[in-house]
Amino acid sequence: MSARVRSLVLTGAVVAAVLLVATALILFAGADPLTGLRGLVEGVSSSPYRVGELLVGAVPIAIVALTLIPALRAGVFSVGAEGQVTIGAILATAAVLGLRDLTGDAAPAPLYWVVGMIAGAVGGAAFALIPAWLASRWRVNVILSTLLLNYVAIGILGFTLRTWLASPDDTATPQSERLPEAASLPALIPGTRAHIGVLLVIVAVVVFEWWRRTSQATRVAVFAERPALALRLGATRTRTLYGTMLVSGAGAGVVGWMQIAGVNERLLGSVSGGVGFSGLAVALLGGLLPVGIAAAAVFFSALTVGAVGMQSATGTIPSSISDVIKGVLLLGVAVIAASRPGLVAPAHPAPAPAPDDGAFAPSEIADATAASGEPALEPATTDTETTR
């Protein structure tokens, strides 16, 4: 069985397990599964507003997941999108409000959008460079560093909302002042919160569908499984770490801007809303394929939006059932992650000296070559320019 077929079968099994668990929970609550399913569907599609809520939930998850494709294909398992979304939102808010003060709120809407998006991307990418640098320079585990940096971002956000970006109005919860009206993203469906950010998802799907057919995507994928061969193709460890983390960080930062410009219209303490972790789950559930990720994002959002309809239809099932189903889904995603070679680093990697240029150490190349079956390289063939 090929790797792609095995991945599709495993993904199908995870979805089937989620449906079985959902059915069991509905029965346990004393409701009819068909009634619950009908309520779920109606909760998603019964009105334009519900459809809009479905898109509002799916868009940020899809963008985070799509921009994680290069990192996950390279075996760089980053769980730091939550923090990158947060930092991107902070910088986007500061940039938009700064532009308003600079122009006297006379800037056109497209300029607000461009400035906000660029600031968000820069913030997310800069925050993603920290774990990339730690991994490249001192071999710090990417999973650990990105996870802990999420808490750093939360602390920065809390400080920001109480000091230099705090709203001048007395509010019950810390928040920034409202963004200029021109900075808000236009609604895609009138009367809903769905905005034109949906178009950005379509663009991202097309771009990453094209990217995965390029030679760069091949080198990134080879890096995860045969690092010695990838090195000979030009994919050094440092270059792969920085490149893939920059892409995922920029994508998460753009999501931070979209959340303040398209949904909340101000910076809130809940700006990330769990989209970072959901995006990672959706990326794996979609098999790291752009179209599959888009479909998985809609499915993931439907669980949350449709749970309210399920509660209304049955009268006995709490809307929190979606959280239980998502938990089962995340367990399935963990199985998918474990089945992908090179996706999760070994718990006890062989010790290796920290290189001064981020390239593979000779012992690493020898070990990887022996494991992959590739012919050994002569030391003279690996010059400074090649390893860089």
Q: What is the pLDDT along the chain (388 residues), one digit of tens a residue?
A: 666 677 778 778 877 887 888 888 888 888 888 888 888 888 898 889 999 999 999 999 999 999 999 999 999 999 999 999 999 999 999 999 999 999 999 999 999 999 999 999 999 999 999 999 999 999 999 999 999 999 999 999 999 999 999 999 988 899 999 999 999 999 999 989 999 999 999 999 999 999 999 999 999 988 888 888 888 888 889 999 999 999 999 999 999 999 999 999 999 999 999 999 999 999 988 889 999 999 999 989 998 888 888 888 877 778 778 788 878 887 887 777 777 655 554 433 444 444 444 445 556 555 555 544 444 444 444 444 444 4
**Do 321 and 21 meet the contact criterion of CB atoms below 8 Å apart?**
no
- Rounded to the nearest 5 degrees, what angle is found at the Cα of 362, between the Cα atoms of 357 and 365? 105
**Do 339 and 5 meet the contact criterion of CB atoms below 8 Å apart?**
no
Distance CA 82, CA 253 (A): 10
Distance CA 254, CA 250 (A): 6
In our burial notation (b when 16+ CB lie closer than 10 A, e otherwise), range 317-332 reads bebebbeebbebbbeb
- Structure confidence at residue 109 (pLDDT): 96
Considering only CA atoms, which of 291, 300, 244 is closest in space to residue 81?
Answer: 244
Distance CA 352, CA 137 (A): 12
- Structure confidence at residue 307 (pLDDT): 85
- Structure confidence at residue 378 (pLDDT): 47
- Structure confidence at residue 374 (pLDDT): 46
Return the structure tokens found at 134: 């730690």
Helices then strands, each counted (H, E), the chain:
16, 0
